[in-house]
Amino acid sequence: MAFLELKNIHKSYFLGSQEFPVLKGIDLDFDLGDFVSILGESGGGKSTLMNIIGGLDRNFDGEVLVDGKKLDHKQEKALDKYRRETIGYIYQSYNLIAHLSVLDNVLVSLDMTTLSKKEREQRAKDLLTKVGLDGQMKKYPNQLSGGQKQRVAIARALASDPKVIIADEPTGALDAQNTKEVLALLNEIASEGRLVITVTHSQAVADAGTRIVRLADGQIESDDRIKPAYEKQDKEMIPSRALPRRASIKTAFKHFRHNLGTNSLIILGTSIGLFAVILFSGLGNGISGYMSSQITKLANPQVMSVSRYVKSDDDDSATAFGSSTDTPAFTTAQLNQIKKQKHVSKVEASYTAANVNVSYNNQNVKMRSLSNWNDSFSKDSIKAGHAPTKDGEILLDQSAVAEKFNKNNYKDLIGKQVTLSYQTQNAQGAAVTVNITATVSGIGHSDGKAAQINAINTQTLQKALQAAGVSADPTEIDVKVDDLNNVEETAKAIDKIKDGSTRLYKTSTIQSLISQIQTYVNLATSILSTIAGISLIVSALMIIVTMFMSVAARTKEIGILRALGESKRDIRWLFISESLITGLLSATLATIIAYLAQAGINGLLKGTADYAFVQITSGNIINAFVIALIISLLAALLPARRAAKLNPIDALAAE
């Protein structure tokens, strides 16, 4: 039984509905150890026949039997395996991969064998030495002569240890000397017990083999043995395997390096968008962190503010105490009701006045706001002296008030008497002036920009209100909760208290304020990040266009890889890998730039506020990597699909 049998092969090409028969019933047997030349006129169907024998063409009638087994042309995977394991190709135009070195061109085929990395490299080197290319292994194809290129192609064809070598006009582009040497190599290959089938126009080339088959008009015209075949050898062949993904990634990386210029620009473009996304997220973290730290520094988070619930009024703005005619005040019964709630440890009236005039030593200063001292203040807010816990005492803000009176020695104010006055309304809506005299017990400290810490003893304030004929019933109270963890739960319980069907109270906790601020900051961050993200669409389009161009430019390479036995999946993965490499490197570059920007911005702002305003988290970085991978994956899908769908024969024919 012959190793390779062709039975009644018919093949036609169609132009529209018109049929052009090329092969009209070919029956041929080939044995191992033979060097068969197929001779015939140009256009006679020699290459067509080779593509059928080589497992590249699936669209024909008839049977191909390998070692007695029918090759199922319907099963693409079986054909991939057949090309990988049994066939080695040598072409007239060499078909080397331009962006791979001589050694790598041979290794591409060896990647599909079960040899270890070391064995593969050794075999590639041995084969290249055998074809006379010792010392040329690091060169690239464009640095070689035609004869040298064809030797690389021969070494590559032999690399996977195939039983059949198909050589399509292997000496067509070579001079007499190189032709002689290549024919000697082909004879040597046949003498190793392989089957060499070569297509040629040249009688001289055909005469170098052991058997000549002439093709004319799509049929076998003659079949002559001119020399005995070489001995068959029963040696173990190197087992093949499907191409591992890492091999595709490696090839993708080599191509990436080959096109470093273009790829660097794409990476730079993509990383700018990703950098902006990371930076804005980091800025959002920093700003919301800064705000909550500032709020908790000034206010005690264990205390919540409660006002009477007014249906039409859903805003939280503070109302000037004692003045409002439409904000209801708390009755004593209501204060007691809240005091009795679970976890409530203290209930205190809360008053706030705006635009208070403070006089000291014939100097006047306008105080933006004045509150009564209670547990809602954090102890951290006292810079010097003590809290105004005794009747007649007041705490003045350092930068907003105290320093205005005495720039250099503001602490001297402690123990001094100041007079205060401000305008408000009484219950009838008439304007009244509230006058207070108090002794400075301490200095409050804020950053002087956001909030001011001016607080007066509650009793002192209540007395002054009464003296001015204004009700001292509080419209707002501060409720202290026994434990920080119970604040939200207690707030909910107070919000739920009803008189019949009427809701009575409205609470506002520091936590809810912080989360409200965080919601706004997050919203602003997301909007900024989304705007930055739009630039990523441009990056994705850039990647798509480059990938499509790459597929077009690498069509021939795709054909070569398919002929070597790579599957559609391998080709798809090759392009996806390259895109993912672009994505990963973009995200890495974006991360580096973002951390540099973080250091720079935080360094610049250190003088303004000793706080890191940009706080990039590992979550932000992971996010950027995920975005980059998704973009590059999506961008690669269509080009990779097009590459995988290319017909190997058409791809090989590409210029």
Ligand X SMILES: Nc1ncnc2c1ncn2[C@@H]1O[C@H](COP(=O)(O)OP(=O)(O)OP(=O)(O)O)[C@@H](O)[C@H]1O
Taking the complex as a whole, the smallest distance from the CB of residue 165 to ligand X amounts, in Å, to: 17
The DSSP call for residue 105 is H
β strands within 161-291, DSSP E: 164-168, 195-200, 211-216, 219-225
Sheet holding 18-30, edge to edge: 18-30, 4-15, 61-66, 69-70
Nearer to ligand X, 44 or 162 (CB): 44
Please give the full DSSP string across 508-566, using - where no structure is assigned.
E-HHHHHHHHHHHHHHHHHHHHHHHHHHHHHHHHHHHHHHHHHHHHTHHHHHHHHHHT-
Candidate segments 38-46, 80-88, 153-161, 390-398, binder of ligand X by CB under 6 A: 38-46
Taking the complex as a whole, the smallest distance from the CB of residue 44 to ligand X amounts, in Å, to: 4
Taking the complex as a whole, the smallest distance from the CB of residue 11 to ligand X amounts, in Å, to: 8
Whole-angstrom Cα distance, residue 150 to residue 154?
Answer: 6
The DSSP call for residue 238 is P
Taking the complex as a whole, the smallest distance from the CB of residue 43 to ligand X amounts, in Å, to: 4
Check residue 95 for interaction with ligand X (CB under 6 A). no
Candidate segments 41-49, 236-244, 351-359, 439-447, binder of ligand X by CB under 6 A: 41-49
Candidate segments 40-48, 262-270, 416-424, 546-554, binder of ligand X by CB under 6 A: 40-48
Number of residues that bind ligand X (CB under 6 A): 10
How far is CA 334 from each of CA 289, 338, 351, 474, rounded to the nearest angstrom?
Answer: 36, 6, 17, 11
Check residue 40 for interaction with ligand X (CB under 6 A). yes
How far is CA 127 from each of CA 421, 438, 518, rounded to the nearest angstrom?
Answer: 101, 101, 67
Taking the complex as a whole, the smallest distance from the CB of residue 64 to ligand X amounts, in Å, to: 16
Nearer to ligand X, 13 or 520 (CB): 13
Nearer to ligand X, 200 or 586 (CB): 200
> Which of residues 9, 22, 212, 402 is near ligand X by CB under 6 A?
22
- With CA atoms as reference, report the closest residue to 504 among 306, 308, 316, 348: 308
Whole-angstrom Cα distance, residue 609 to residue 628?
Answer: 34
> Which of residues 16, 19, 43, 502 is near ligand X by CB under 6 A?
43
3-state SS string for 39-52: EECCCCCHHHHHHH
Residue 269 has which token pair?
Answer: 């473009």
Candidate segments 39-47, 271-279, 411-419, 472-480, binder of ligand X by CB under 6 A: 39-47
Check residue 200 for interaction with ligand X (CB under 6 A). no
Check residue 46 for interaction with ligand X (CB under 6 A). yes
Taking the complex as a whole, the smallest distance from the CB of residue 55 to ligand X amounts, in Å, to: 16
Taking the complex as a whole, the smallest distance from the CB of residue 182 to ligand X amounts, in Å, to: 18
Residue 581 has which token pair?
Answer: 């490499």
Residue with the two structure tokens 């501060």: 478
Nearer to ligand X, 87 or 543 (CB): 87
Candidate segments 43-51, 141-149, 287-295, 616-624, binder of ligand X by CB under 6 A: 43-51
Nearer to ligand X, 45 or 442 (CB): 45
Nearer to ligand X, 49 or 249 (CB): 49
Taking the complex as a whole, the smallest distance from the CB of residue 56 to ligand X amounts, in Å, to: 12
Express the helix, strand and coil content of the chain in percent, nearest 5 each: 45, 25, 30
Check residue 559 for interaction with ligand X (CB under 6 A). no
Taking the complex as a whole, the smallest distance from the CB of residue 23 to ligand X amounts, in Å, to: 8
Residue with the two structure tokens 């996977």: 160
268-295 in b/e form (b: 16+ CB < 10 A) is ebbbbbbbbbbbbbbbbbbbbbbbbebb
Check residue 618 for interaction with ligand X (CB under 6 A). no
- With CA atoms as reference, report the closest residue to 225 among 214, 215, 211: 211
> Which of residues 1, 17, 19, 42 is near ligand X by CB under 6 A?
42
Any residues with CB less than 8 A from the CB of 26 and at least 6 apart, and which? Answer: 6, 8, 9, 49, 62, 218, 219, 220
> Which of residues 33, 45, 55, 385 is near ligand X by CB under 6 A?
45
Check residue 408 for interaction with ligand X (CB under 6 A). no
Check residue 44 for interaction with ligand X (CB under 6 A). yes
- With CA atoms as reference, report the closest residue to 151 among 193, 103, 119, 194: 103
Taking the complex as a whole, the smallest distance from the CB of residue 235 to ligand X amounts, in Å, to: 33
Nearer to ligand X, 51 or 577 (CB): 51
In the shown chain, the binding pattern of residues 47 to 86 toward ligand X, with x for contact by CB under 6 A and - for none, equals xx--------------------------------------
Residue 11 has which token pair?
Answer: 């093949």
Check residue 170 for interaction with ligand X (CB under 6 A). no
Contacts with ligand X by CB under 6 A lie at 13, 22, 40, 42-48
